Structure 1
């Protein structure tokens, strides 16, 4: 934030300086060249006037002396020619070839035709730039010759360079000053923004112990900070109320539910046979309500505390849960298998993997037909370790799989006894562990729940997954709910 504001201010200042200094430097350079040209032209006119008098009165010696003195004064060269272009006087010696070519020079030729000329030319002597000016010499209406004056333009170029250097240094100084002021202003503006960012991170972590400052920064940012603090306080209050209600309601319901279950157990010897079905139904619903209360309590605990993922041995957790559920699966006539190569450790919140597998295996057992197989399969996929729990039950439609993680949602034809909270708890535990939970259609029918967690030492850098075993559908399968039934 501060860096971007500083860059913006400096860019704007640099653009303003360029728009001001470039035209200023160009105008000054042009004015200096025009001033030097006018000064040389005036000097040449003065020499031409003096030459007109000396030629009219036939004093060529005085003309040579004046030409030499003028050249020394201006630091240049002066020469005078007659109407035919022959040399009359010069401030510097010329060889015969140069004297013969005087009439061919453009400025001298223009002056002998009655006009005047001025141009900047680069001589072959040291690569120095020279300003050449030629004017005609007249006495009345008679053309007596021409004066050619040349002066070096190095001094002019030096002055122009000095001006450009001064403009550059001045612009740099202005940028430094603007940068200092801009840095102070950017920090002033950015400090409350950083406070808001810190407060937002704290709120995302589950609490807002220190609200954003509402006394520093621009007015708009102070208003934004005050609005954020009110919103954060309202969210905290709502979350705390929701968590407190879920937790307190769960705790308050556990005691009467336990008492109700005990009373139903005590009634069992005294219930006539024709009413035994009603008693069994009441006990089943009581157990279902107890499981729902336990799930709500688990969800409330998750929302109240910020859980930090830790390394978990997925292989040991999978083996333990398969062993723990094996006897119950056998009593229902369902096989429970653990397949796949070891996947090592992955990041998960403490106890999450066991709760995830318990919920998935409970749901699978509820929908698996007798004689079918429920498979817990492990594999590595890139940097993720995957746990698959697949049954051969009736499965789910795509729309049902999309809604299966919603709280209290159950498939229309799901078996009785579910609470609709199991998969919601699975998803929340997986997300809290930094992973992902998805439901897929199992090969050969049924439903497959996939839990992906980040591994510590991925064994397949190329990301090639191990193939899943093909499972043949069992007889008696029908459409309906699957792993996500409850």
Structure 2
């Protein structure tokens, strides 16, 4: 913004200078040409009177000295002709004595007692100013005088004034640039501090509030308002996180006590009621997982974490090795295919949790004798493909909605798992989608950002949980305490 303001000031100053200096330069050039023409015409008139007297008295031999002395002092050229147009004397000119110039328009007009002043190309391409005056006494014409000067005498002065105007304009622009830069920096200082504060706030902290003491009043008010809003938002987030922690602790105890009380009823119940008791205990357990999932999702949305380069190949190899024993118990094979993916951007611990829970989902629906495939595709893309029943297109669109569960689902999921996974993937700068797998089943595609050697990327928000320990329980999600439900 500083640069744009500076350019705006300079453009305005340049427009003003052009509007002033260009007309001034043209006026000076016209005035200089007019003054020069008047001077030449005056001198030509005076010389014509002198030469006319010499011609009248028959002193034509003195004419070369008269005009020669003048042209030597002024650098012009002069030609004197008699009343028939024959050259009597010439100085500073290529015309020779005795040449008849009566046919030339300016000489003919002067011999007709009509003076002329104008410009001509001079015969060699250089423009000259001439003034031809009649040498007359009353109505008697005794001759004429032509006085010429090269126009370079004027153009050099005009060029000098244009150069002076250009230098003055450059100095003014330099002064305007210095003042404009100082003013633009002063105006944009609150915006720069506000930008830094906004970036910090997006990362979950505000160590340097925007400067509300400098800059225009409107920007100072904006900085103060932002600081107040950020402080209030931080208080609300702290209160929400405190509530999440307290609610997790306070709800865990009564739910555990309720589960124990229900289990204590077992010896005293009629055998026909045991199935209902098991269902009640299962619902209490599901309620506990749902509470954990809600609290985990709240913590994710209120926490900002910076993405870091993560080795996708190493994570896949580690998680596949961890899941193979459980998959073998269900007679399901786990295969890792595709070319090496290298390093990708992911918030700490997120990639392990995403892989764990997508695999857990896939194992839940995989029939015995099938293969669960983890495929690395070009462009830092991961596919988790099962051979289960799959999902209709409408259900795949809704699978990431909170609390959504497939209508034909028979497991005890809470419907919070995939929303948490999507939040982890998006916080890492990627995207997750569900597709129908060839031959049946579901293809969960996770697209991440490759971590190039010189690349830099920061997540746009969301949080990441702690890093999952290798070999941990395959039936728990670190951040939510549940297996993801499709």
Aligned match for 1:421, one of 416, 428, 453: 416
Give the deviation of 1:303 after TM superposition: 4.2
Which residue does the alignment assign to 1:174?
172
Are 2:108 and 1:109 aligned? yes
Consecutive unaligned residues of structure 1, counting only runs of 5 or more, are 459-482
Greater mean alpha carbon deviation, residues 184-193 or residues 40-49? 40-49
Secondary structure at the counterpart of residue 102 of structure 1: coil
Greater mean alpha carbon deviation, residues 79-88 or residues 339-348? 339-348
Q: Identify if the C-alpha distance between structure 1 residues 193 and 312 changes in structure 2 by more than 3 Å, giving closer, same or farther.
A: closer
Secondary structure at the counterpart of residue 130 of structure 2: strand
Q: Identify if the C-alpha distance between structure 1 residues 65 and 440 changes in structure 2 by more than 3 Å, giving closer, same or farther.
A: same
Which residue does the alignment assign to 1:378?
375
Q: Give the whole-Å Cα distance in 1 for the aligned partners of 2:359 and 2:267.
A: 33
Give the deviation of 1:336 after TM superposition: 4.1
Q: Give the whole-Å Cα distance in 1 for the aligned partners of 2:165 and 2:309.
A: 64
Query: 8 Å contact 2:376–2:383 — kept in the other structure?
Result: yes
Q: Give the whole-Å Cα distance in 2 for the aligned partners of 1:259 and 1:172.
A: 85
Give the deviation of 1:34 after TM superposition: 0.9
Are 2:4 and 1:4 aligned? yes
Which residue does the alignment assign to 2:258?
260
Are 2:431 and 1:436 aligned? yes
Q: Give the whole-Å Cα distance in 2 for the aligned partners of 1:236 and 1:407.
A: 25
Alignment of 1:170-319 (within 5 A): 170-303=168-301, 305-319=303-317
Give the deviation of 1:218 after TM superposition: 1.0
Query: 8 Å contact 2:344–2:448 — kept in the other structure?
Result: yes
Query: 8 Å contact 1:364–1:374 — kept in the other structure?
Result: no
Query: 8 Å contact 1:319–1:338 — kept in the other structure?
Result: no
Greater mean alpha carbon deviation, residues 418-427 or residues 6-15? 6-15
Which residue does the alignment assign to 2:456?
none
Q: Give the whole-Å Cα distance in 1 for the aligned partners of 2:78 and 2:326.
A: 121
Give the deviation of 1:147 after TM superposition: 1.1
Which residue does the alignment assign to 2:443?
448
Secondary structure at the counterpart of residue 133 of structure 2: strand
Q: Give the whole-Å Cα distance in 2 for the aligned partners of 1:327 and 1:271.
A: 38
Q: Identify if the C-alpha distance between structure 1 residues 330 and 285 changes in structure 2 by more than 3 Å, giving closer, same or farther.
A: farther
Query: 8 Å contact 1:392–1:444 — kept in the other structure?
Result: no
Q: Give the whole-Å Cα distance in 1 for the aligned partners of 2:265 and 2:94.
A: 140
Deviations 1:371-390 (A, max 9, x none): 473523221313x1414243
Greater mean alpha carbon deviation, residues 41-50 or residues 57-66? 57-66
Q: Identify if the C-alpha distance between structure 1 residues 204 and 306 changes in structure 2 by more than 3 Å, giving closer, same or farther.
A: closer
Q: Give the whole-Å Cα distance in 1 for the aligned partners of 2:127 and 2:90.
A: 20
Aligned match for 2:401, one of 399, 403, 406: 406
Query: 8 Å contact 1:367–1:485 — kept in the other structure?
Result: no
Query: 8 Å contact 1:111–1:146 — kept in the other structure?
Result: yes
Q: Give the whole-Å Cα distance in 2 for the aligned partners of 1:39 and 1:300.
A: 93
Which residue does the alignment assign to 1:392?
388
Query: 8 Å contact 1:77–1:151 — kept in the other structure?
Result: yes
Which residue does the alignment assign to 1:164?
162
Query: 8 Å contact 1:372–1:392 — kept in the other structure?
Result: no
Give the deviation of 1:161 after TM superposition: 1.8
Query: 8 Å contact 2:363–2:372 — kept in the other structure?
Result: no
Give the deviation of 1:275 after TM superposition: 0.7
Which residue does the alignment assign to 2:466?
none
Which residue does the alignment assign to 1:100?
99
Which residue does the alignment assign to 1:71?
71
Give the deviation of 1:89 after TM superposition: 3.2
Consecutive unaligned residues of structure 2, counting only runs of 5 or more, are 454-482
Q: Identify if the C-alpha distance between structure 1 residues 403 and 99 changes in structure 2 by more than 3 Å, giving closer, same or farther.
A: farther
Greater mean alpha carbon deviation, residues 150-159 or residues 418-427? 150-159
Query: 8 Å contact 1:396–1:447 — kept in the other structure?
Result: no
Which residue does the alignment assign to 2:471?
none
Query: 8 Å contact 1:79–1:90 — kept in the other structure?
Result: yes
Which residue does the alignment assign to 1:359?
357
Greater mean alpha carbon deviation, residues 172-181 or residues 4-13? 4-13
Q: Give the whole-Å Cα distance in 2 for the aligned partners of 1:279 and 1:393.
A: 31
Q: CA RMSD, aligned part only? A: 3.0
Give the deviation of 1:216 after TM superposition: 0.9
Q: Give the whole-Å Cα distance in 1 for the aligned partners of 2:182 and 2:354.
A: 53
Secondary structure at the counterpart of residue 144 of structure 1: strand
Q: Identify if the C-alpha distance between structure 1 residues 269 and 376 changes in structure 2 by more than 3 Å, giving closer, same or farther.
A: farther
| Number of aligned residue pairs | 456
Q: Identify if the C-alpha distance between structure 1 residues 198 and 119 changes in structure 2 by more than 3 Å, giving closer, same or farther.
A: same
Normalising to structure 2: TM-score of the pair? 0.84
Q: Identify if the C-alpha distance between structure 1 residues 448 and 305 changes in structure 2 by more than 3 Å, giving closer, same or farther.
A: same
Q: Give the whole-Å Cα distance in 2 for the aligned partners of 1:13 and 1:94.
A: 51
